[in-house]
Amino acid sequence: MCFKTLPVEFGEDGVARLRGGIPNPYDVTITKPDVGRTEDERTARIERLVARNGHIKDLNMDPVTRVAGALAVHVTADLDQGAYLDAHAQATLFRGYEVILMGRDPRDAIYVSSRACGVCGGVHAHAAAYAIEQAMGLRVPPLGTVVRNMQEAAEMGYDNPLHLYLLAGPDYSESVVRAANPELWPKAEAWPCPHAHIHGFKTMADLMTALNPLTGRLYREGLDFTRLAREMFVHLAGKYPHPQTVVPGGVSSTLTIKSLNEYHSRLGQIFDYAQRMLAVWDDIPAFFYEADERYLMVGARPANQIDPGYWDDPYAYDSTYANCNGWGEKRWSTPGVVIGGKLVTTRLTDINIGWEEFVEHSYYDESHTSRFATDPLGNPISPYHPWNKRTLPRPGARDWKDKYTWACAPRWDRQVVEAGAYSRVLMTALAQKIPDNDFIFSTGHSLRMMVPKGEVDEREVEWHVPTQWNAFERNRGRAYHYLFSQLVGLNSLLEAYSLFKQGERKVAAMEPHELEKAIPKDEQVAVGWWGAGRGWLTHHLVMDKGKITNYQICTPSTINASPRDPWGQPGPYEEAVMNTPIIEDISDPSRFTSIDMLRTIRSFDPCMPCTTHAHSGDGEVVREVNTCSCGGDD
């Protein structure tokens, strides 16, 4: 029984049903989660502290970008006690793709959603294709699924180093550490790296210097490896990041031995690099935890995570909702929900029916409907489920107690869960359901991986479920996810060679010109369960008479940047910031950099255009060049 908040129970046939005797079981005032500290209690505490001393400050930060208003985090900080008392994540960029997709041919979703973001194009295209082929009942040929897996492994090969070395890495670089945490620098100079024999940096100071923006060796190397991964993607899909070859029922690429070999030659260069990456991101947390154990709490959150799984078994995947638990659990990355560190389900139907999106604190009108009481298998779904929810934008003034962001509040079983590439590693490690293979092994408490021989010898590495999830463990988990994804790419490449040897060439269920006639005219609901570089990605589709009648995209950053929900539970960014101690020296507030909060937010690998894909009437993005991205106000 995976649900503890929603009144859902399971019959002997495995079908879920609502517990009887509860009127309006999805009413937010009736079915409520256990909430630690209520919003009123939090506010009252802050007011008490403000009354007692003058160290409490309200600060507005743009922790990610200098695009005005892209993501602002408003915090209330106690600079005397070094604590963030309150935090609100505010996304104020407007896109509108869900609204624009209404009434269109469902195939347009592949093209349109791909362009919702500058870095996540391929994953959106794939998620849309998955949703459409489920609605159409298309069975993807095994080689088509294998090519998709390879493409998406390559996309992770692009995304993960990009984040680790170009966005998060600089937070741990010599230039930043010397400025924001000068007390750490002498320690870094004297601290011998345990994995120096792998990454080549004798001391942590050497490693930090290699993380310096633009000039650092690790920074430049990360950039080079993103290029390699992009080339791998292009060899299969033609172009990156907005591929034209992703179609419902497979891919439209012309696959040749040459394209497989081109992919292979690049993949072969990655494994030595992956070993170095793991060594770097193993040593960074070790150093920080040893230097000051408060770093364990930077970005800390409970182990509540969710992921719909990724990369399909080419022989199990049949695209249907009816069989989704079967093919879902055979994914290379197992779907799952972890609550309080425990894996509570690996079934896609459970993940789907427990999913709701709330807008109490978002710039939308309440939009839940009762259009669908159940999923296609008869399992109950909420009025707040994406198939029932509409996108009804309503721009308004910012009010921390009311509406303050364009991100909605997705919740599973009315609990706050986070999403990340590392969630895939977590689910797969715990579930022990990974398909048999020579490289990746799930132990129930760790993920062991065999790194193939490159210029250096093969080596077995092991990722262990951390005792405390925090900013450092997100980055470490992302590094292990990089290797995981490339090993999925390798397994899939070997399968592609095998299929080729057998004479298999078919990569799509039907030719593109045949799709036109196959689009169903009756009402269909479907979901594309997929993943992005940042974790969870779903596209929920409702179509009728061959046109889209509702389209809901949920991205990992929507989940992580979510605001308070109807019960006052803060979203993952907000909660992680509130758990973060202010470790940097704040004796001179004018030199406050908020580095601890920046490390927290960036550890989620935020992607703001994806987050705020909803519509506004008159929003506008203004890029302020050469201005400071953060500032405090009393």
**Closest to another protein by CB, 119 or 153:** 119
Q: Which is nearer to another protein, 186 or 213 (by Cβ)?
A: 213
Beta bridge partners of 16: 10
Closest CA to 151 of 255, 275, 224: 255
**Burial environment of residue 506 by CB neighbours within 10 A (0 to 12, 13 to 18, 19 or more):** middle
Tell me whether residue 121 or residue 141 sits nearer to another protein (CB atom): 121
For the chain, the 3-state helix, strand and coil shares in percent, each to the nearest 5, are: 40, 20, 45
Q: In this complex, which beta carbon is closest to another protein, that of residue 471 or of residue 508?
A: 471
Q: How far is the CB of 488 from another protein (least distance, A)?
A: 22
- Nearest residue (CB) to another protein, 3 versus 225: 225
- Measured distance CA(108)–CA(266) in Å, rounded: 32
In the complex with another protein, the residue whose CB is nearer, 2 or 123, is 123
Q: Give helix then strand counts, H and E, for the chain.
A: 20, 19
Which residue has 């060796």 as its token pair? 217
How many residues does the structure list for the chain?
Answer: 634
Tokens 């009010």 sit at which residue? 399
Which residue type occupies 19? Answer: R
- The C-alpha angle with vertex 575 and arms to 204 and 60, in degrees rounded to 5, equals 80
Residues that bind another protein (CB under 8 A): 64-67, 70, 94-97, 99-100, 112, 115-121, 158, 162-163, 166-167, 170, 175, 213-215, 223, 226-227, 230, 240-242, 606-610, 615-623, 625-626, 629
Q: Which is nearer to another protein, 224 or 523 (CB)?
A: 224
Location of structure tokens 């129970």: 9
Question: Which of 121, 144 has the CB closer to another protein?
Answer: 121
**Shortest Å, Cβ 85 to another protein:** 27
Residue with tokens 């909702």: 321
Token pair for 273: 């690099």
Question: CA-to-CA distance for 392 and 240, rounded, in angstroms?
Answer: 32
Q: Taking the complex as a whole, how short is the minimal distance between the CB of residue 124 and another protein, in angstroms?
A: 11
Give min distance, CB of 145 to another protein, in A: 25
Q: Nearer Cβ to another protein, position 431 or 532?
A: 532
Residues 6+ apart with CB under 8 A from 16: 8, 9, 10, 349, 350, 353, 379, 380
Both tokens of residue 135?
Answer: 């609605």
Compute the least distance from the CB of residue 610 to another protein, in Å.
6
Positive/negative CA dihedral, 44, 48, 51, 53: negative
- The residue behind tokens 């390699």 is 228
Q: Which is nearer to another protein, 214 or 456 (CB)?
A: 214
In the complex, the smallest distance separating the C-beta of residue 154 from another protein, rounded to whole angstroms, is 13
Say how many CA atoms lie within 13 Å of 311 toward its Cβ. Answer: 31
Element (H, E) at 278: helix 257-291
For residue 308, say if its preceding peptide bond is cis, omega within 30 degrees of 0.
no
Task: Quote the least distance from Cβ 152 to another protein, whole Å.
Answer: 16
Q: Which residues contact 325 (CB under 8 A, 6 or more apart)?
A: 347, 348, 349
The whole-angstrom separation of Cα 164 and Cα 170 is: 9
**Dist CA 94 CA 72 (whole Å):** 14
Nearer to another protein, 13 or 618 (CB): 618
What are the CA-CA distances from residue 55 to residues 476, 536, 577 (Å)? 34, 39, 18
By beta-carbon proximity to another protein, the closer residue of 153 and 324 is 153
Shortest Cβ 591–another protein spacing (Å): 16
Helix or strand run (H / E) with residue 223: helix 217-237
21: left (phi over 0), alpha (psi -120 to 50) or beta: left
Q: Using CA atoms, how far apart are residues 486 and 184, in angstroms rounded to an integer?
A: 34
Cα 617–Cα 621–Cα 626 angle in degrees, nearest 5? 165
- Please report how close the Cβ of residue 3 comes to another protein at its closest, in angstroms: 34
Q: How far is the CB of 527 from another protein (least distance, A)?
A: 23
Q: Minimum Å distance from CB 95 to another protein?
A: 6
We find the least distance from the C-beta atom of residue 578 to another protein, in angstroms, to be 22
Minimum distance of another protein from residue 271's CB (angstroms): 22
Choose between 231 and 504: whose C-beta lies nearer to another protein.
231
